């Protein structure tokens, strides 16, 4: 072989070697990202043609299912309860991807997860139609239905937790959407439905329970009270409660929306009537660092319920005294999700132990073999048992004698806290309520937010609007 031919042969072999190496690299390292590309319609066609696994509520109730379809996709994704469980399941759409558990557990539901490899091989060998795994959630249908009914058409959200385990019992947002319209095999129809929902000013696609944060208003006074107890104070400790408080370093006055019962009151009295000036002074006494530390022990500044894309609630950095006073009553730049405020009540109810919230308890293969199992986990010790018991009793007084009376349940002692938050002088306030029951053996903790509360700005919106919703959810949780 002469020299020129030899050189051409060597170059050809090198090119073939590089081609093989590139092909191997793509198969081993780029298959996942390439499969996930929105432009890859072959993958989407294959996904829509699969017998996708079910998403289940407690009691094995199917809240997302797959039924045979007489069209090019073979199987149709279905949501039997329409919008009721949409904040949990999310949607599974041809052109618009997936959200919620449909997205987080996509490979398990589709049957393509590594944990289902042996099952796929068996299906291939036996020529059996592959089937995805099922995802078991902690949602309790009775509690979810009660939350949705009580919230009704009001814009807002409800979260209910089991304080002893962290299991999410209900997660509702309003307005919502019907995921069936987005899962339609009529792709043009599904696209029109998505465009309509995405263009709505009320943002029905938003998960207000876990993915939106709001000023928590006076419900944050629970955090301030916990910080004060940790600082050595007691429910009977006295704090100044003037009719209005001049914010340090400013000419602005912070008013009270209620009669505090005197110009010096106990912390318990201040919580009972939701006295702004008392809690602003209490926050100034405790200090920025201790208040922030307490907030973080309750879960602020960290993401939770990542299965549903939960976002972090926020306690602001680098506060001056005026900002600290406002932050102590849940204003300034304090922002919390309903999930976060349910976690605050949950930790107080559970003798100071904050459990990590979770919505999926297990993933099971089609033959019911467990693939993943989620056990309750402690997230932090937010309070000592003694301080938690003291705050439980104070929250009980809020409901039995104070601003939370609309949350009373006959024959059951309830602990709670109202909140009215103002984010913009031109906007109606947010109405909050967070609570737990029963007082002596808590089984359920709840947080409710109603946006744009249509009542006077100086009224106790949380007691008027949000407390009755929380009561209905607690009643459902206690009677299951």
Q: Kindly report the backbone phi and psi dihedral angles of residue 340, in degrees, each rounded to the nearest multiple of 5, phi listed first.
A: -60, -45
Q: Do residues 220 and 419 touch, judged by C-beta distance below 8 A? A: yes
197: which 2 tokens? 């929902």
Which residue carries 């406002």 as its tokens?
A: 326
Name the active-site residue from 218, 327, 361, 435: 218
Tell me the C-alpha distance between 111 and 47, whole Å.
Answer: 10
Residue with tokens 């704090």: 239
Give me the half-sphere count of Cα atoms (radius 13 Å) on the Cβ side of residue 330. Answer: 30
- Are the CB atoms for 416 and 435 separated by under 8 Å? yes
Distance separating alpha carbons of residues 260 and 245, to the nearest angstrom = 13
- Tokens describing residue 341: 């405020």
At 355, list the tokens: 């459990």
What is the rounded CA–CA span in Å between residue 86 and residue 93? 13
Write the CA distances from 284 to 227, 272, 277, 322, integer angstroms. 11, 20, 11, 9
CA distance linking residue 190 with residue 28, whole number of Å: 34
Q: Which two tokens stand for residue 127?
A: 């020529």
Give the H/E segment covering residue 246. Answer: strand 244-246
CA of residue 393 relative to chain centroid, distance: 27
Q: Which residue has the tokens 């989407």?
A: 44
CA dihedral sign, ordered 211, 178, 470, 256:
positive
Is 380 noted as a catalytic residue in this protein?
Answer: no
Asked if 78 and 67 count as a contact pair (C-beta separation under 8 A), the reply is yes
> What is the 3-class SS of 322-361, one letter each residue?
HHHHHHCCCCCCCEECHHHHHHHHHHHHCCCEEECCECEE
Q: Which two tokens stand for residue 3?
A: 């020299």
Query: What are the catalytic residues?
Result: 218
């Amino acid at each position: 072989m002469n020299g020129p031919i030899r050189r051409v042969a060597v170059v050809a072999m090198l090119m073939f070697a590089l081609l093989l190496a590139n092909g191997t690299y793509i198969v081993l390292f780029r298959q996942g990202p390439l499969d996930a590309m929105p432009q890859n319609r072959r993958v989407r066609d294959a996904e829509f043609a699969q017998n996708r696994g079910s998403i289940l509520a407690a009691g094995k109730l199917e809240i997302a299912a797959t039924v045979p379809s007489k069209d090019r996709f073979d199987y149709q994704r279905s949501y039997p309860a329409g919008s009721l469980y949409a904040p949990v399941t999310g949607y599974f759409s041809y052109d618009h991807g997936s959200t919620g558990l449909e997205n987080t557990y996509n490979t398990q539901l589709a049957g393509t997860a590594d944990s289902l490899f042996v099952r796929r091989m068996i299906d291939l060998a036996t020529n059996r139609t592959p089937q995805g795994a099922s995802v078991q959630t902690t949602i309790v249908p009775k509690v979810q239905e009660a939350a949705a009914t009580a919230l009704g058409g009001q814009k807002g959200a409800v979260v209910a937790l089991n304080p002893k385990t962290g299991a999410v019992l209900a997660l509702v947002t309003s307005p919502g959407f019907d995921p069936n319209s987005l899962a339609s095999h009529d792709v043009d129809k599904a696209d029109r439905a998505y465009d309509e929902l995405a263009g709505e000013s009320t943002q029905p696609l938003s998960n207000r329970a876990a993915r939106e944060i709001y000023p928590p208003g006076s419900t944050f006074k629970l955090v301030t009270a916990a910080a004060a107890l940790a600082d050595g104070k007691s429910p009977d400790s006295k704090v100044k409660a003037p009719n209005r408080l001049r914010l340090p370093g400013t000419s602005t006055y912070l008013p009270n929306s209620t009669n505090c019962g005197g110009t010096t009151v106990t912390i318990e009295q201040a919580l009972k009537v939701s006295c702004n000036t008392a809690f602003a002074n209490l926050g100034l006494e405790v200090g920025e660092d201790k208040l922030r530390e307490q907030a973080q022990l309750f879960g602020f500044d960290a993401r939770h319920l990542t299965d549903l894309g939960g976002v972090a609630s926020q306690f602001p950095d680098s506060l001056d005294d005026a900002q600290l006073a406002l932050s102590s009553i849940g204003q300034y730049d304090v922002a919390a999700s309903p999930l976060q405020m349910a976690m605050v009540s949950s930790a107080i109810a559970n003798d100071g132990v904050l459990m990590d919230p979770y919505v999926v308890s297990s993933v099971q293969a089609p033959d019911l073999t467990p693939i993943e199992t989620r056990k309750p986990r402690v997230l932090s010790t937010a309070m000592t048992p003694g301080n938690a018991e003291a705050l439980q009793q104070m929250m009980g007084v809020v409901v039995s004698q104070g601003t939370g009376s609309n949350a009373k349940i006959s024959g059951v002692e309830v602990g709670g806290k109202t909140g009215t938050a103002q984010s913009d002088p031109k906007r109606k306030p947010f109405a909050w309520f967070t609570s737990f029951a029963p007082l002596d053996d808590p089984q359920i903790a709840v947080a409710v937010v109603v946006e744009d509360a249509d009542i006077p700005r100086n009224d106790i919106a949380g007691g008027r609007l949000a407390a009755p919703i929380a009561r209905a959810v607690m009643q459902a949780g206690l009677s299951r």
